[in-house]
Every structure is written in structure tokens, then in C-alpha cells.
Amino acid sequence: MIFGHLPAGYITSKLLLKKFKNSSVNANVFIFWGMFGAIAPDSDLFYYLLRDPSQPQHHHHKYVTHFPIFWLTLLLISLLWLLLYHRRSQKAALSFIFTLNGFIHIVLDTITSHILWLAPFMDKPFSLITNSSKGVSYFTHWTFALEIFLIFFALFLWLASSIKKTKQKNSIT
Ligand SMILES: [Zn+2]
């Protein structure tokens, strides 16, 4: 997935924000860390591009930042931290949304590409796309429709939230 990660991060963060209504969690900070988590696994692209060219080439999905177990472990730790503080700790909430969106990134990558779901124990890639998709243009493939859907759903949520805020502001003044 290329374009869908950031909107997916926005959607998850925006929808889960309601769960932290009565806590000290700042909405904008929560959404920022959520969206940051949604693209964090691709930080391995920097390492991939800056690597020693004489070393053998690996797809960046073979780095630990694209291992499901990596994100799942961090997500479980964050969830425990969050539950321990009864959802009142901002740091725990930010850690939770960051790692949750990191894990969702891996799930979305599995739809459009190959992910080593059993790494580091097995080097077997898994994907939802079939071999029959090979040679099909990225922009005419069904997964591109999913990316477009995520973008439009995120835009819809953002617009709905902006209209609500404007109405609230007008009713106060
Ligand atoms: Zn990725």
C-alpha cells in the first residue's frame, strides 16, 4: 500500500479518540501520533536507501520494522500500560495509538504486498494478492480502489469534524 497508510491512521485515530473523551488526552496530539505510527514501519526505507550498495539487496519488507511480531509485541505492552492507568495516561494512549496503527500498516501491506507473518521464525511471505495479479497496473488493480476508499473516508471524517467544530464555535458566539 502506498497512499492509504496516512488516511488509515487518521481514520483509526479519529474513531478511537472518542474512547478517551474523559481523559487528559489532547485530540490533535493523539491524531498526530496515530498518523505517525501509520507510516512508521516504512522508516526502514531510509535504511534501505542508505545501505551499503555492496551488500545483498533485500525488499524493505524483510526488515524488522515490517515484522508483525515486532508491532504486536509493542501493541500488547502499550495496551497493558493503557489498562493499568485506566485510559487516563496520555503517554500510554499515544503509545497505544502509535503501535496500533503500526500494526494496521502491516495488515494493509499484506493486502497489497508480501509480509513475513512468521518472521523471524520462518522466511515465508504471505499476501492477499494472488499471482494472477502480476503484470496488472497498480492503478487498475482492485487494491487501488481500497486506497481511494481510505482517502475519501478520511476526508469525510475530517470534513464532518470541521463542520461540527464550526457549528459549536458559532453557537458559543
Ligand atoms: Zn510498509
Q: How many A from CA of 69 to the centre of ligand 1?
A: 14
**Which pLDDT belongs to residue 56?**
67
Specify which residues 115 forms β-bridges with. 126
Give the separation between CA 118 and CA 100, rounded to whole angstroms: 19
**Which pLDDT belongs to residue 88?**
78
Give the separation between CA 47 and CA 64, rounded to whole angstroms: 12
Q: How many A from CA of 172 to the centre of ligand 1?
A: 44
Residue of 30, 41, 21, 39 whose CA lies nearest to 94? 30
Residue 11 has pLDDT above 90, yes or no: yes
Q: How many A from CA of 159 to the centre of ligand 1?
A: 27
**What backbone torsions phi and psi does residue 145 show, to the nearest 5 degrees?**
-65, -35
Residues that place a CB less than 5 A from ion ligand 1: 41-42, 109
Residue 125 has pLDDT above 90, yes or no: no
Q: Which three cell numbers stand for residue 98?
A: 502509535
3-class DSSP assignment, residue 85 = coil
Number of domains in the chain: 1
Over residues 11-26, the mean pLDDT reads 89
Q: How many A from CA of 127 to the centre of ligand 1?
A: 13
pTM for the predicted model, two decimal places: 0.88
Its domain, for residue 139, covers 5-172
Gyration radius (Cα) of the chain, Å: 18
**What backbone torsions phi and psi does residue 126 show, to the nearest 5 degrees?**
-120, 145
- Residue 66 near residue 44, CB atoms below 8 Å: yes
Say what angle helices 142-172 and 90-112 make with each other, to 10 degrees. 150
Could you read off the pLDDT of 82-107 as tens digits, one per residue?
A: 999 877 789 999 999 999 999 999 99
Could you read off the pLDDT of 19-78 as tens digits, one per residue?
A: 887 778 899 999 999 999 999 999 988 777 777 777 766 788 888 999 999 999 999 999
